[in-house]
Amino acid sequence: MNLIEELQQIHEQAISAVSAATDAGELEEVRLRYLGKKGSLTQILRGLGSLSAEEKPLVGSAANEVRVGIETALDEKTRAISSEALRLQMMQDSVDVTLPGRRRPLGRQHLIERITREVVEIFVGLGYRVAEGPQVELAYYNFTALNTPQAHPARSPSDTFYVRDQSVETGLKSHDSEVLLRTHTSPVQVRVMESSKPPIYILAPGKVYRRDIPDPSHLPQFTQVEGLVVDEGITFADLKGTLEHFCHEMFGSDRKTRFRPHFFPFTEPSAEVDVSCGICAGSGCRFCGNTGWLEILGCGMIDPNVFEYVGIDSERYGGFAFGMGVERIAALKYDLPDLRMLVEGDMRFLAQF
Amino acid sequence: MRVPQSWLSEFVDVKLAPEALADRLELTGTAVAAVHRTGETLDKVVVGRIVDKSPHPQADKLWVTLVDVGGTEPIQIVCGAQNFEVSDLVPVALPGAVLPAGMKIKRAKLRGVESAGMNCSAAELGLGSDQDGLLVLPNDAPVGLSFSEYQGLSDITLELEITPNRADCMSMIGVAREVAAVTGVQFNSPTYSLLDEGPSIEDAVDLTVADPSLCPRYAARLVYGVKIGPSPKWLADRLIAVGARPVNNVVDITNYVMFEMGQPLHAFDLATLRGDDGKAQIIVRRATDGELLRTLDGVERHLDSQMLVIADAGQAIALAGVMGGAFTEVSETTVDVLLEAAVFDKDSVSRTSRSLGLLSEASSRFERGVDPTGCVAALDRAASLLQEICGGVVAGGVIDSSPTPPTIRRLELRPKRLCEIVGEEIVIGDMINILEALGLNVEVAQDVLGVDIPPFRPDLEREIDLVEEVLRIWGMDRVTPTLPSGTGRSGGLTRAQSDRERIGATLRAAGLTETMTYIFAEGRDMAIPGCNSVPEDEWVRLMNPMSEEQASLRRHMFPGLLRSVSFNQNRGVPGVHLYEIGTVFSTAVGRQLPREHSMIAGVLNGRWMPKSWHDARVRSSSPKSKPGSSARVDDVLDFFDGKGVIETLLLDLGIETATFTASHYAWLQPGRSAQVITGSDVLGWLGEVHPEVLALYECEGPVVAFELSLDLLLTNAVSVKQYRDVPRFPPVQLDIALIVDNTVAASSVEMAIRESAGRDLHIIELFDVYTGEGVDAGKKSLAYSLTYRSKDRTLTDDEVKAQHERMLRKVEAKVGARLRG
Ligand SMILES: [Zn+2]
């Protein structure tokens, strides 16, 4: 058998040995057997030197071809084996993707705060700033400067919390105190009008207090957002446009609004604003008490008496104010059965929003 | 204010259907609470006579009645009302009846006693608002007759909500005028005539108004020889429809005229009025402090000198504008009746009725204001009804403290100004039409309308009031919406406001959920160690709290949060992580308004997450619970979870210099509480709540709580953070374990390392704290991973080694730390 034939035989044996190998170890054995230092192909290549000048190149190139062929087969088989091993490993590593993930604790924003932020953002977009004021207020800012008569029921100790005034000697009866828990955020408006010049475009969100026993629809402490605009040439039409814009942003552009004339001591003309019921689209249902409308806001043009208290010329400047109860909006938007849930801190409730 | 359409239509011919009228009223400023229909759905309700009444054997407030409903036998009905006697006639709903509110009447056992129907109140039949007792019918009502048949034709009643400024709409005539104006039809002003041919009233009654400021007008008429009895049915029906309960013909007439004309009237039994010279005395004066008056409702009232009374020569006989007295009440034996029509100061009536908790139909009218020119017309109307119904003779003349003629005031309205305020071009003709429809006379001059205000509209005082009248009737819905066109404004939040929102967002990202608690401090909040020693003067006290338990404003927020922890624990919630951004209050002698501080408070209790299939895996792969170490038990949140939240918050705000130092707060567990400080500012505190405090709130511990000053966080927050080079050269990392005395704070070891190492020590991370086997008692092992890295070159191992060893020697000298072998 000549060397060429021997080479052919080695090639065939090597190829079949490669394909018979089942793991990396066997494959390495095959490599050593043919290509290793003592491998059969190596032996032949070592013997090249003893060949004739004619045979040498022929056998040399044939041997090289065989070597390349075996190496290629080995490489392919190596890849095949490792990819098979990887496949098996991955099969072992597979998981039940329906098992729960490793969750991070995530806190939620309180519903009332969230709605308040929504309202604030809408008005910031219209060029408003946010104003704040004390929660314990003087009767002057909470009532008097807002044109509320001395005998107005809202001032009575059955409606308003009065606070001990430590700047005076006595004050045994609550209606003698000039200090109270603010009953709305309107005193912030008075303070702003007192301390700054028009144009004024502000929003005053905050906690307010009224002497109501907590029940499903009342809390003694709740949240209001009030707005105030004072500028030249402000009209009732501006008030209407502003609040229609707000209602569309807040409740959806398909909702209609309705202005009903009303009475408030600090605005005139005054109105209450209804938005069409989102459940029945205005045709009447249990949710809206069959009226098709939900009352959302109180509003009006600043009463000239209020301007007089804060020293703004009501002939030159006009203005409007509006206010809404955030708890009420929450109750309407989410159909809450009981407002007291808002102050209990129940994780199962708070985590819903 | 309930307005039956049958009554309203005497003064205005309403052409709209009730729902359309209600809509129109809503859109012009009179809210309509409900539209009631009566007389339509009263099947199986009949007239019955109570033939027997005995107390229920099982219930104090119930009666067992036998009622004749025209059948062979009386039926037995259990009844809770108290205002009836045997032989009274009442409406009876028989089994099968469905009442207007939807209540279905069935045979039932009430506390063990059979009841075969229900005796009804006016409210239950949809006839009025009186729900306190049975509707007792006139004595001539035929027993067994269907109640609808007896009651007559069905009617529709509008229930209106009159705003406080519209005194005039507290009467049928006033509402009729308003309805005429808003629907554009004619208002028919009523005219009444009266023959007053009896002996002059002057001979029988003397009037003194001692306090004209609280009683601008007091007028009276006298009617002799009336016959007291039940009112005719039409009169009783109307009173029931507006929500009043018929009493007798005289009282009913005074009420009827009040509902019709808006002027409250009162009837005195002349024979009960004391006087002298054979003349009864009427004195309008302030009460004396401690004066007693038994009012018509039978309650003895203690009066004070702020209150106005009507008195006779002896004592107070009526509470002016609020309620009459029992002693001078018209009764079955009354013969001569003195009718009072007065005007009382609205603030005075309001104060009196509120301080006595006595709101009446009369006081609600005086509070809004009563037309001072209407007194005599109301007296005339009532006297003529008395003549007609009770057969009396009207004494000649009227006594009147202030027979002033009606005063018309004139206001000016600038049409141009009106359009400027409304933002809509309303034509002058529309303005005039609207004002005239309201009963105001208008005189047109150049650029201005002169508007005469009649006395029944005292609320119209200024030009703006007329602007409102025109706008509400012209139609707010017709105004085209616009947005303010002014320039020179820019919206946005201040830095403090947006930082506050950011703090909330960071706390939520750190796992805390926002909550809201009351600002009222409860008694036990004030009993907490550390809070109970606060001087009385420093608490902000409410003068009229809802309960003594909530009479102060909070100085801390954690007690409210502990309540929430307890609330959740009682309901089996496995983890509570709450924060609140709120206000606390404190004050001092001499302060009028208290100090208000904005705070951030939080509580952590239980676990971050519900138990999970991951937990076992995590625990088995990192065996942490070495004996004696502070490793947590079962992942229960502790001090370090709270501290981690605050560290995260400080990191986000760029407050890098803050430190936590062991500190004592009486409400926190000693050894697990710290103060958070930056520079000279104490930002707040953090710790596990003292077990004794937890017991006060019925909480299971541990509960971690913290309170931080929002204001101080905001002033220390770094708004613009500095850029620092990101490391470019490779690190050399060395792990060491140092043995120190247990008493040495980890922070001082870390500070010693940092001070002792050269500037190439980049990161120090404490990765283990160990006590126990292999470490002497009283010592602990702190394991650090140190990262050395130069800013400008690659460090060699030898360089690092030299630095490291130098550092170890210094640390040993500083804190007695020795390298663990
Ligand atoms: Zn609806």
Residues A282 and A141 in one domain: yes
Q: What is the pLDDT of residue B245?
A: 86
ipTM of the complex: 0.87
Same domain, residue pair A10 and A150: no
Residue B655's pLDDT band, with cuts at 50, 70 and 90, is very high
**Cα B287 vs. chain centroid, distance in angstroms?**
32
**Integer Cα distance of A224 and A128 in angstroms:** 16
Question: How far is residue B241's CA from residue B260's CA, in Å, rounded to a whole number?
Answer: 13
> How is residue B657 annotated by DSSP?
T
Query: Does residue A238 form part of some domain?
Result: yes
Per the domain annotation, does A98 fall within a domain? no
**Chain B residues lying within 8 Å of A221, measured CB to CB:** 518-520
CB atoms within 10 A of CB B15: 10
Looking at per-residue pLDDT, the higher value among A353 and B579 belongs to B579
**φ and ψ of B347, to 5 deg:** -65, -40
- Cβ of A62 under 8 Å from any chain B Cβ? no
- Residue in A with minimal Cα distance to B496: A130
| B28/A261 Cβ within 8 A | yes
Let me know if residue A101 belongs to a domain: no
Phi and psi at A250, nearest 5°, equal -80, -40
Ranges A43-47, B82-86, B329-333, B770-774: which has the least confidence: A43-47
Minimal Cα distance from A303: which residue of B?
B464
Q: In which band, very low, low, confident or very high, does the pLDDT at B724 lie, cut at 50, 70 and 90? A: confident
Q: Is residue A261 part of a domain?
A: yes
Count of CA atoms in the C-beta half-sphere (13 A) of B302: 2
Nearest CA in chain B to A211: B546
Among candidate residues A92, A123, A153, the one where a domain is terminated = A92
Q: Does B621 touch chain A (CB under 8 A)?
A: no
**End residue of a domain, out of A65, A92, A119:** A92
Q: Which of residues 162-201 of A touch B (CB under 8 A)?
A: 162-168, 171, 173-174, 177-179, 181, 199, 201
- A-chain CB neighbours of B423 within 8 Å are 235-238
Q: Does an H or E element contain B495, and which?
A: helix B495-509
In the numeric block, which tokens belong to residue B562?
A: 């502990």
* Mean pLDDT (whole number) for B231-241: 89
From chain B, the residues in CB contact with A301 under 8 A are 421, 464
pLDDT classification of B260: cutoffs 50, 70, 90: very high
Rounded to an integer, what distance in angstroms lies between the CA atom of residue A271 and that of residue B88? 48
B window 348-367, beta carbon within 8 A of A = 350-351, 354, 367
Mean pLDDT calculated for residue range B35-63: 84
List chain A residues with pLDDT less than 70: 1, 170-175
- Residue A212 in 3-state DSSP? coil
- Top-confidence residue, B535 or B43: B535
Q: Are residues A337 and A230 in the same domain?
A: yes
**Cα separations (Å) of A191 from A141, A185, A197, B257?**
7, 11, 11, 47
DSSP B133: S
Q: Is the pLDDT of residue B339 over 70?
A: yes
On whether both A225 and A144 belong to a single domain, the answer is yes
Interface test with B, best of A124, A181, A222, A260 (most B CBs within 10 A): A260
**What is the least distance, in Å, from the CA of A87 to any CA of chain B?**
25
Does the distance separating the beta carbons of B589 and A158 come in below 8 Å?
no
Partner residue opposite B577 with nearest CB, options A107, A120, A157: A107
- Distance from residue A335's CA to the centre of ligand 1 (Å): 12
Q: How many domains does chain A have?
A: 2
pLDDT grade for B617, boundaries at 50, 70 and 90: low
Cβ–Cβ pairs < 8 A, chains A and B = 271
Looking at the structure, do residues A140 and A40 belong to the same domain, yes or no? no
Q: Does A271 touch chain B (CB under 8 A)?
A: yes
In a domain, A100, yes or no: no
Q: How far is the CA of B35 from the centre of ligand 1 (A)?
A: 18
Mean pLDDT of B53-64: 90
Which has more confidence, B487 or B425?
B425
* Residue A55 and residue A168 in one domain: no
Residue with tokens 């079962």: B634
Residue A317: helix, strand or coil by DSSP? strand
Whether residue A302 sits in one domain with residue A224: yes
Type of residue found at B335: V
Which domain CATH number covers A184?
3.30.930.10
Confidence of residue B153 (pLDDT cuts 50, 70, 90): low
- Is the predicted pLDDT of residue B628 greater than 80, yes or no? no
Range(s) of the domain holding residue A249: 111-350
Show the CA angle centred on residue B727, arms to residues B725 and B730, nearest 5°.
160
Does residue A228 sit in the same domain as residue A144? yes
Instruction: Report chain B residues whose CB lies below 8 A from the CB of A348.
Output: 571, 573
Question: How much is the pLDDT for B40?
Answer: 61
Query: What does the mean pLDDT of chain B come to?
Result: 90
Q: Give the residue from A22, A57, A92 where a domain finishes.
A: A92
C-alpha B369, offset from chain centre: 25
Q: Do B590 and A258 touch (CB under 8 A)?
A: no
Which long-range contacts (C-beta less than 8 Å, at least 24 apart) are formed by B443-447? B447/B414, B447/B415, B447/B416
- Answer yes or no: do A252 and A150 share one domain: yes
The mean pLDDT value for B470-481 works out to 96
The reply to whether A187 falls in a domain is yes
CB nearest B513 (choices: A123, A229, A351): A351
> DSSP H helical segments within B101-194, as ranges?
147-151, 172-183
Contact of B687 with B604, CB cutoff 8 Å: no
B249 contacts B389 by C-beta, under 8 angstroms? yes
Our CA-based measurement puts residue B489 at a distance from the nearest CA of chain A, in whole angstroms, of 6
Model pLDDT, residue A179? 95
Report the predicted TM-score, pTM, of the whole model to 2 decimal places. 0.83
Q: Angle at which helices B428-437 and B415-422 pack, to 10 degrees?
A: 100
Residue B55 near residue B190 (C-beta atoms within 8 A): no
- pLDDT for B16 equals 86
Residue B276 Rama label (left phi>0; alpha psi -120 to 50; beta) = beta
pLDDT score at B192: 83
Give B112: exposed, middle or buried? Use CB within 10 Å, 0-12, 13-18, 19+: exposed
The verdict on residue A315 lying in a domain is yes
A10 and A125 fall within a common domain = no
Residue numbers in A near B351 (CB within 8 A): 151
Contact A318 B612 (CB under 8 A): no
Q: Let me know if B41 is exposed, middle or buried by CB neighbors in 10 A (0-12, 13-18, 19+).
A: middle
- Check pLDDT > 70 for residue B458: yes
* CB atoms closer than 10 angstroms to residue B816: 15
Looking at the fold, whether A139 and A278 belong to one and the same domain comes out as yes
Of the CA atoms within 13 Å of residue A227, those in its CB half-sphere come to 27
List b or e across A34-60, with b for residues whose CB sees 16 or more CB atoms inside 10 angstroms. bbeeebbbbebbeeeeeeeeeeeeebe
Give pLDDT, residue A174.
53
Please give the residue of chain A at the shortest CA–CA distance from B417: A315
Q: Tell me whether the omega of the peptide bond preceding residue A199 falls within 30 degrees of 0, making it cis.
A: yes
Please check whether residues A220 and A282 belong to one and the same domain: yes
User: Is A105 part of any domain?
Assistant: no
pLDDT at residue B634, rounded to an integer: 59
Q: What is the Å distance from ligand 1's center to B472 Cα?
A: 26
Closest residue in chain B to residue A177, using alpha carbons only? B543
- CB within 8 Å: B27 and A162: no
